[in-house]
Amino acid sequence: MSLPNNTACLKAYKDVASGLYGLRRGNMITCKPQSVRVFDIQEDFAIVRLVNLSMAVVDDRKSEAQPCRLQKRKDSGKPYYRCYGQEEQ
């Protein structure tokens, strides 16, 4: 039994022509191919490495990536991603 497009899981796909990765939900492309690597996908967001080797967060509703950086939490020391311009939490 397959899920309808609107409830299918967000997944990475590789564009054969460019060799870059994009995101899709079911058969619907939600993010154009713009990354050389997809690190992680959680719900509607993915952490990716762009062609210029910067890291970014993309979601399934936008085709533009938001720059991010890897930081360590002060309390636990575990790494996490934070978008530029976000307030410290």
pTM tops 0.75: no
CA distance 51 to 53: 5
CA distance 82 to 84: 7
Tell the residue number behind the tokens 């054969």, with chain if given: 16
Question: Which pLDDT does position 77 carry in this prediction?
Answer: 62
Residue 77: partners with Cβ closer than 8 Å, 6 or more residues away: none
Question: Which pLDDT does position 53 carry in this prediction?
Answer: 86
Give 1 or 47, the one with higher predicted confidence: 47
Residue range 46-73, pLDDT digits in tens: 888 888 888 888 877 765 667 776 666 6
Question: How far, in Å, are 14, 19, 29, 30 from residue 11 at the CA level?
Answer: 10, 16, 10, 10
Cβ atoms of 66 and 58 within 8 Å: the answer is: yes
